[in-house]
Structure 1
């Protein structure tokens, strides 16, 4: 028995749909499936902004590490990550996906976005009252939940540990004053 798609079919692959994927990739050009290059471009722009801002910062006669140290590291790491992300997108582009036979241009997880954005908003609003450790822990927990973690107790413990370490590094190591909030005895 022969049918469309078997080797005995006299029709060309374009007519049977066998070569459709290869033909579609050739017809769309270079940018097909590479819209994800927007994210590395934004990361590179932000990293360059950090590097430029740190370079223009008047630090005076401060000792090492000084106020330029962290922005320079973050800017350099951001540029490296932007290049790695761009290379990944260029090597393996992701074409438009299909759901139920209909193509869609993007897929957004608005629940995850709401958790992360809400965490940033809560951090910004509650930082003076909760202090760095608790507000940072809340931010980390919201981000972890938004990215799919379903272990709230573990996430809280890790969040408290990380925000405490950051508080110690910036407070003790760099001499910056971060808000202590209710843990410091005041608002």
Structure 2
């Protein structure tokens, strides 16, 4: 009687060949769907509050629900596009263990630029006014996303915020804070 060594099945499976990717299923798909889930939650929050908003009958079009409705619609559209793209990518087998380990990195510096920009905008809006505060917010967000030309980002931000100020003030008749440019301080 000879003794045979019994090896577990896992030991006989050599794994993927060098350079060959190992397909992954659940974990990476969930990571890819994290942002669409957050956007869908935010869009739902906007939708619920927009529907709960009390609007007098005498309000003309576009009214206070128009811009939140546009933003909500765009957010839901982006969520659908991202989910479809993630599922197609996942079902094609393009999500792998290697891409899971190397592709998803969290950039704390970017988060700090964006959150700091929003915090600064909220705190300085009344003092600096819309044009300067929104221009600086644009610049901070651009830095957070890795802009290579900070002066161009600042000029673009100030231009866009100036156009928004003019549009709200002249076209819609709504006043935004003018801050130091309006002589308020």
| TM superposition score category, shorter chain reference | 0.7 to 0.9
Q: Can you list the C-alpha shifts for 1:18-76, whole angstroms capped at 9, x where unaligned?
A: 28956x42xx54x2321221211111121122122222211211111110110000001
Segment of structure 1 superposing worse, 103-112 or 152-161: 103-112
Output the CA distance in 2 between the equivalents of 1:156 and 1:104.
33
Q: Which one of 104, 123, 127 corresponds to residue 129 of structure 1?
A: 127
- Residue 65 of structure 1 aligns to a residue whose secondary structure is coil
Is 1:42 aligned to 2:38, yes or no? Answer: yes
The 8 Å contact of residues 96 and 106 in structure 1, kept in 2 or not, is answered as no
Q: What is the number of residues matched between the two proteins?
A: 168
1:165 Cα offset (Å): 1.3
Structure 2 equivalent of residue 18 of structure 1: 17
Q: Can you list the C-alpha shifts for 1:75-116, whole angstroms capped at 9, x where unaligned?
A: 0110000111111111114445479xxx47941111111111
- Would you identify which runs of 4 or more consecutive aligned residues in structure 1 move more than 6 Å? none
Output the CA distance in 2 between the equivalents of 1:135 and 1:59.
29
1:170 Cα offset (Å): 2.2
Could you tell me the TM-score, scaled by structure 1's length?
0.80
Segment of structure 1 superposing worse, 136-145 or 167-176: 167-176
Could you tell me the TM-score, scaled by structure 2's length?
0.80
Segment of structure 1 superposing worse, 75-84 or 41-50: 41-50
Higher relative CO (Cα under 8 Å, sequence separation at least 6) belongs to 2
Structure 1 equivalent of residue 66 of structure 2: 69
Q: Can you list the C-alpha shifts for 1:119-170, whole angstroms capped at 9, x where unaligned?
A: 1111111111000110000000011111111212211111111111111222
The 1:105–1:159 alpha-carbon spacing in structure 2 relative to 1, beyond 3 Å, is closer
Unaligned runs of 5+ in 2: 1-12
Output the CA distance in 1 between the equivalents of 2:183 and 2:128.
10
The 1:98–1:88 alpha-carbon spacing in structure 2 relative to 1, beyond 3 Å, is closer
1:15 Cα offset (Å): 2.3
Aligned Cα root-mean-square deviation (Å): 2.5
